[in-house]
């Protein structure tokens, strides 16, 4: 039976931990490591623009011995020129995987239902699992991933916040979410994470109170006009949540700063913080490669 990574649902904490262990091995081995995709191909469907995700997947597939097939939305016309169902069926005959970045989460779920090969979520409007696994790997490398470590997420309760909550239902951690009223994470995902009873979860709307004694602070881009948010309202609602030097004075001196990138400098994060000594954003970006190689290797070998 094939396994998909459309979200962390259906994945146990043990399986996710195994992926992280394999990712660390992949990083140590470098580009000359195992090549389980030798002679095989993987389709990458992108409905959205991408830098880190596209490059890390393409490079990762090549390092595993495979061939990436890049498919832009304007080329294949998914759900316009051809149905999602038929695309999933067709690509399954050519490829070892289907990797997709879709606007709507429903689209990748339809792909997974139709495809006979594993489907990997490269980001949807609901969740971003590959990013969060790379973030956990980054924290592990810094010795900052345990239930005793206080991880604070500031800003919009978007797909990043949702995926942290999904992970908190699988692996134990202390997660604090600080979001403006009306911009909290998906309520069902939040409730499921709380019901799992695996992690300590706190909702602290006040950003200053949230980051007090934090070991790591994570932020992401604020909603834009494309999400129907006017510039003036965005600044009024989210400005208190900006990660800057003044806010970080309330965190631990050695607090790490995280961002999945791309960043709007001067909005959700100040440039001096993003480029500062506490920032691990480039480590996060690099670890996307190793985590995604581990995911693909595990799925190709039936180990996931």
Tell me what pLDDT residue 209 has.
98
Q: Do 155 and 264 have their domain in common?
A: yes
Q: Which residues pair with 259 in a beta bridge?
A: 219
Q: Distance between CA atoms of 192 and 92, rounded to whole angstroms?
A: 32
Residue 197 domain-assigned? yes
pLDDT at residue 301 in the model: 80
* Residue 163 resides in a domain: yes
Q: Is the same domain home to 117 and 179?
A: no
Q: Are residues 105 and 149 in the same domain?
A: no
Residues 46-89: pLDDT tens digits? 999 999 999 999 999 999 999 999 999 888 999 889 999 999 99
Are residue 158 and residue 100 in the same domain, yes or no? no
136, part of any domain: no
Residues 151 and 271 in one domain: yes
| 107 contacts 123 by C-beta, under 8 angstroms | no
Q: How many domains would you assign to the chain?
A: 2
Instruction: State which residues form the domain around 235.
Output: 143-279
Residue 244: per-residue pLDDT: 98
Which CATH number is 296's domain given? 3.40.50.1370
Residue 68, in any domain of the structure: yes
91 occurs within a structural domain: yes
Do residues 31 and 114 share a domain? yes
Q: Kind of pairing, strands 216-219 and 200-203?
A: unpaired
Please indicate, yes or no, if residue 28 is contained in any of the structural domains: yes
Q: For every one of its 304 residues, what pLDDT tens digit does the chain have, with 9 covering 90 and above? A: 789 999 999 999 999 999 999 999 999 999 999 999 999 999 999 999 999 999 999 999 999 999 999 999 888 999 889 999 999 999 999 999 999 999 999 999 999 999 999 999 999 999 999 999 999 999 999 999 999 999 999 999 999 999 999 999 999 999 999 999 999 999 999 999 999 999 999 999 999 999 999 999 999 999 986 667 778 888 899 999 999 999 999 999 999 999 999 999 999 999 999 999 999 999 999 999 999 999 999 999 867 6
Distance in angstroms (rounded) separating the CA atoms of residues 289 and 278: 22
Decide if 164 is inside a domain. Answer: yes
pLDDT score at 279: 98
Predicted local distance difference test score (pLDDT) of residue 230: 79
Three-state SS annotation for the chain: CCCCECCCCCCCHHHHHHHHHHHHHHHHHHHHCCCCCCCCEEEEEECCCCCHHHHHHHHHHHHCCCEEEEEEHHHHCECCCECHHHHHHHHHCCCCEEEEECCCHHHHHHHHHHCCCCEEECCCCCCCHHHHHHHHHHHHHCCCCCCCCEEEEECCCCHHHHHHHHHHCCCCCEEEEECCCCCCCCHHHHHHHHHHCCCEEEECCCHHHHHCCCCEEEECCCCCHHHCCCHHHHHHHHHHHCECHHHHCCCCCCCEEEECCCCCECCCECHHHHCCCCECHHHHHHHHHHHHHHHHHHHHCCCC
Same domain, 291 and 273: no
Residues 215 and 254 grouped into a single domain = yes
């Amino acid at each position: 039976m094939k396994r998909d990574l459309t979200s962390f649902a259906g994945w146990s904490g043990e399986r996710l931990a195994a992926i992280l262990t394999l990712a660390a091995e992949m990083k140590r081995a470098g580009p000359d490591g195992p090549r389980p995709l030798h002679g095989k191909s993987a389709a990458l469907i992108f409905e959205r623009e991408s830098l880190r995700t596209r490059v890390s997947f393409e490079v990762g597939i090549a390092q595993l011995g495979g061939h990436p097939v890049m498919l832009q939305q304007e080329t294949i016309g998914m759900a316009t020129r051809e149905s999602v169902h038929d695309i999933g069926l067709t690509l399954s005959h050519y490829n070892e995987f289907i990797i997709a970045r879709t606007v709507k989460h429903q689209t990748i779920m339809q792909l997974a239902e139709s495809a006979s090969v594993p489907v990997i979520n490269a980001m949807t409007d609901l969740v971003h699992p590959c990013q969060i696994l790379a973030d956990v790997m980054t924290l592990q490398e810094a010795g900052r991933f345990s239930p005793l470590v206080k991880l604070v997420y500031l800003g919009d309760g978007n797909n990043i916040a949702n995926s942290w909550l999904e992970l908190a239902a699988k692996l134990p951690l202390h997660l604090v979410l600080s979001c403006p009223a009306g911009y909290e994470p998906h309520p069902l995902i939040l409730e499921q994470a709380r019901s799992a009873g695996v992690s300590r979860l706190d909702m602290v709307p006040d950003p200053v109170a949230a980051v007090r004694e934090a070991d790591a602070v994570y932020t992401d881009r604020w909603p834009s006009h494309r999400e129907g948010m006017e510039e003036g309202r965005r600044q009024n609602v989210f400005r208190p949540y900006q990660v800057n030097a003044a806010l970080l004075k309330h965190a631990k001196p050695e607090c790490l700063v995280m961002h999945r990138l791309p960043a709007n400098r001067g909005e959700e994060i100040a440039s001096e913080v993003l480029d500062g000594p506490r920032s691990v954003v480039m480590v996060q970006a690099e670890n996307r490669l190793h985590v995604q190689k581990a995911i693909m290797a595990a799925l190709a070998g039936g180990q996931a």
